[in-house]
A and B are shown apart, each in its own frame.
Chain A
């Protein structure tokens, strides 16, 4: 068996199946209601025909190979957990100045905002959306689109899309992660690259007339910030929206954020489980701690 029998199989024959599931998910989307579980509420969007995470060739007939059905039904779980895992990794990375939040409607769409704290783009607050391919992690790399096209050599001046692909020519499952894309989105504002630009004007200006480039950047930052309080571009319950400081609303939230940091470790629900250990750190011997009760 090769390393990963399930995912590495090539992809053609399960498309039929996906078509079915598309219908299904279309229905369920309408019936969706807010959910209790923190992550359970995400709805996966309809899965298009050309993007199947479940890619085992379905050579029907022999029982050994007809297991396709079983696993197709778990496919969404895999996608969902891959995305959850990605999100968990993002949280763990604690990327400076970057905040993301998956959409309410689809786990494949993440809303984000990036704060630039110094450099040419200082004080920039750029909202963006990450689009994850629905055959993740086996497809292309995710797309990152700024709500307002920032003036930058690598950002498409019309669509606002960042050229992510240059950093991830091939998306490798288990090696590439979405936090890397986010990190990359941050890096471009500190270290400007002008090769093969999506915005040739910006690239040329940066090379030939930095002063003008800078002023254009300042304008762009101003523009972005002036739209900060706009309604989110995409209508979604979890879209990131800004509003002017309102003490009545925000003071309390701020308070909570700061107190939350110092919460006791076990704010967890459920019965408190305390593990036991009498192993002295570094000893790998049982009952090596000094404060173990003596055993005559």
Chain B
């Protein structure tokens, strides 16, 4: 506002003081000046009249008799300066009355005449500026209220109206001054709401839009820079005014486009965001401040989002709900939803990162409500956004990583609705618990047994190396007194024993913080989620899923689970004579689970990788997921798949983005690695799998000849592979559908009836096999089932070639996982050591070898098949009953089965997280950090259902519930196996461990420094820690091994973290329950 005075010359005069000057003298001076001004004005005023003031709007040109001489203009300006100064300095009159000068101004219509004078002088930009600044100065410095007086207010409104008109935009100077003035007016308005009446009134008088002040601000809502900021501030002032004045609220919602402008503005700004982000590292997973600050469009969008947030916070409820409605229906649904379903992985990844950033930026619960209900309840192509997002966690691309980060944000909101949809609605039925476990839910583990069980999983060799025989009780006693101080934590550099356990105290401390945060945050939740409140039956009836769909889904799941529980791996004792083969043969359950990270949305990525060999089956896997669940994949997913498939095949030329061959090869390599990973993981996991599922198989194996037993085992393995795949496919499929609505169910039915759907079920193989496939496992049938699925590939978009492949071929081939494992097995039996890394390195060689071995494989397979006919009688009998039944009936039965068995299913989200955790050794460091971080975050929630599910280490009565502890056990076995083959590995891990701990402590140290130094925390997490690097260089770990080495370290640290969380839960004071 000082700018104004510079022009008007106020600066010079303000130093003068009128104190002590007689008010009457001032008045005389003022009148004198005014008479001088009037003389000049009248000279150029052809038809002086009150109406003239308004006629400029209709025909301003007619009013201009000719240019005003410069000297006269400047004379007027000088006089006016003096006058304004006198006016501003005038004190309020006696008893709040107008001072004499103001009264004179009002009576004489001084302001209006001055405005008209500006118009006479052709009303150039300069005139406007002059006028605007004049008012700015008056408003900011006058000692008595001016706006109450119509003769002051009216010309002001006319000025505003004339500035707002089209074509007045030149260089933005006027705009800036206009907005500044508007801002001032709003401030005045808030200070003295009684002026409001006049504002409305005045606007009506002159026929302009009601509440002109507000209407003028709207166009600047989304403006960048300080002008926009000022306008938004001004608008916010009016918004806060609206909260107390319903008339303002009514006007805004009914007569202005404020809310639509705001919401569609978001859409507009969103469309200007980069559709793809150039990501600088594979570990990148979210938009940190340092990232988005580099993208002006994003900064701008966030400002506007922030503004929406602020408006919802302060505005009248009617405005708030209107705005939120427009944001939901004008931005989220029409813009963000399609953006989340774009065609390329990169675009989707970018949108996901945006969504994550938006969620992190919104502070206002009401706005967050809109975003969250969009995520949780909105369906795009009949799929809930949430389900789509969950399924993407499993994608192998960076999209998966970014999705993990998004869920980290979501979980960090401590929003009951989110947690209900993600986790609790699957846990509330308590089907994953036995009755005893359920009643023990609220009890706390006061003996640290869970913590002990978790820590027991720490790989012993690294503990041995690292801990040495350090004094075990040192850390509790903590001689320096409760110290988590830096001096202690960096003690390792003094050559003292390695502080592996020192950081256990940190974990305890963090866990305590996290738990108390979560406890406080969930105080306002609607219920305790402790197995009794809400009662277990609630979530079934009350689920978003219609009863039928849910039942159906559960049925499908239990079917899968039934397979799982029956498909027991051979008892470990039976395997022990042939340890080497036990490494190569694998249990499909684990395989498929481990592989699930790759398959959910990307099942058919492999489709044409090995056209003659594997494609049919792999394709079967992909399509089966659709047909099996009787729910077709929504188009967007199909398209994404297609795109990804093209991408991976290197034939993606649809758009120019992916011409970069390197990228394509990268992706291919990624895929290949994943294949090798699968193989490794399935080998490693099998033992643990066997350990909790044996005993059921044992009786059948007893009392047979050795050969029989061996054969049996072999075929059991095979069956479990196939069945496991099937099971997982189903469960994932179910996971995808978890939240779908009824229409979908209907659609599902239609699809089932469609030609090329169910009817061809009977096509080509006998009903017995089919039935068994439907309900229980059998290797042959499973393959036949896949054949069926393959032929049912109704979607012409997805590789029609597959549909043509003959069934017999399919039966002979197995999926790639299977294949790899058998390949390895064969290699070993031929005396060669199959190295996975080799496999991944040379696809061509690999394929050649694969082809060479295929023959043998088929032979062996037929051997497997023929040898399998015992041990399954019961199942078969049961299966036989259903031979003649139609699909619908079968489904009903399964549903009943589901009721019988209690249907343990803990939801797609948990299942996806555990799947990613199972891939620990193969994940990138970023992914592992996110996955373990998410799980720890979840484990810190105090709700007994979740807490006990994640932290309980009891062996479950229901073996088909996969728990975190089980996954960790299998992970441990995997690691041990891996290390057993690599004697030098522990040393690497130790080095890496030291390095990471040092780095961690270094960053803690820096945090300390930063928080001490009271500067605004600009640097983000990405900024590399030069200090740490200088102190302790990263050990020379071969790049290929790096992520695996770090994964092992992370595994052990994660165990500590979980143990700490478990321990802190046992001592947390749950004030909520009591108070």
What is the interface of chain A, defined by CB distance below 8 A to chain B? 1-7, 17, 20-21, 24-25, 27-29, 31-37, 39-41, 43-44, 47, 63-67, 69-78, 80-82, 84-89, 91-92, 137, 173-174, 177, 265-266, 268, 270, 272-287, 292-296
Contact = CB atoms under 8 A, between A and B. Distances in A.
Contacts of A1: 955
A7 B447 contact: yes
B321 interface: yes
B845 interface: no
Contacts of B443: 174
Contacts of B504: 74, 77
Contacts of B524: 274-277
B481 A34 contact: yes
Contacts of A70: 455, 458, 460, 463-464, 467
Given A20-B471, A74-B455, A78-B447, 19 more contacts: A32-B481, A63-B464, A67-B456, A71-B452, A76-B476, A78-B452, A85-B446, A137-B447, A174-B447, A268-B520, A273-B414, A274-B414, A277-B417, A278-B416, A279-B416, A279-B526, A286-B417, A286-B418, A296-B328
Contacts of B417: 276-279, 286-287
B683 interface: no
A276 B542 contact: no
A77 to B, nearest CB: 6
Contacts of A275: 413-416, 520-525
B453 to A, nearest CB: 6
B1067 A73 contact: no
Nearest to B369: A293
Q: List the 7 shortest-distance A-B pairs measured between CB atoms, nearest first.
A: A275-B521, A35-B482, A28-B477, A85-B446, A70-B463, A296-B325, A277-B416
Interface of B: 312, 320-321, 324-325, 328-329, 365-366, 368-370, 372-373, 376-377, 413-418, 420-421, 424-425, 428, 443-449, 451-453, 455-456, 458, 460-461, 463-464, 467, 469-482, 501, 504, 508, 513, 516-517, 520-527, 534, 538-539, 542-544, 954-955, 976, 1059, 1063, 1066-1071, 1074-1075
Nearest to B1073: A92
A40 B471 contact: no
Residue of B445, B451, B508, B520 with most chain A CB atoms under a 10 A cut-off: B520
Contact of A273 (B369, B520, B525, B954): B520
A69 B452 contact: no
A277 B415 contact: yes
20 contacts: A6-B456, A20-B469, A24-B474, A27-B479, A67-B463, A67-B464, A76-B477, A81-B448, A89-B444, A270-B513, A270-B517, A275-B522, A275-B523, A276-B416, A278-B369, A278-B373, A281-B527, A282-B526, A295-B328, A295-B373
B472 A295 contact: no
Contact of B479 (A28, A76, A77): A28
A43 B481 CA distance: 10
Given A277-B417, A296-B328, A71 B376 contact: no
A76 B477 CA distance: 9
A286 B425 CA distance: 10
A73 B501 CA distance: 8
B542 A283 contact: yes
Contacts of A72: 472
B416 A6 contact: no
A155 to B, nearest CB: 28
Given A73-B472, A85-B1067, A275-B415, A64 B460 contact: yes
Interface SS of chain A: loop
A284 B539 contact: yes
Residue from B424, B447, B513 having most chain A Cβ neighbours under 10 A: B447
B542 A6 contact: no
Contacts of B320: 293
Contact of B470 (A73, A278, A293): A73
Contacts of A280: 526
A201 to B, nearest CB: 39
Contacts of B513: 270
Contacts of B325: 294-296
A6 B453 contact: yes
Nearest to B1060: A77
Contact of B477 (A4, A24, A37, A63): A24
A30 B473 CA distance: 14
Contacts of B444: 85, 89
B425 A284 contact: yes
A84 B420 CA distance: 31
A82 B447 contact: yes
Contacts of A276: 365, 368-369, 372, 413-417, 524
A284 B522 contact: no
Nearest to B1066: A85
A286 B446 CA distance: 33
A50 to B, nearest CB: 17
A289 B233 CA distance: 32
Contacts of B473: 21, 24-25, 28, 44, 47, 73, 75-76
Contact of A77 (B451, B458, B464): B451
B669 to A, nearest CB: 34
Contact of B376 (A36, A81, A286): A286
A76 B731 CA distance: 42
A266 B523 CA distance: 11
A37 B397 CA distance: 44
A171 to B, nearest CB: 12
Contacts of B543: 284
B472 A17 contact: yes
A2 B449 CA distance: 12
Contact of A3 (B448, B526, B538, B955): B955
Contacts of A47: 473
B366 A293 contact: yes
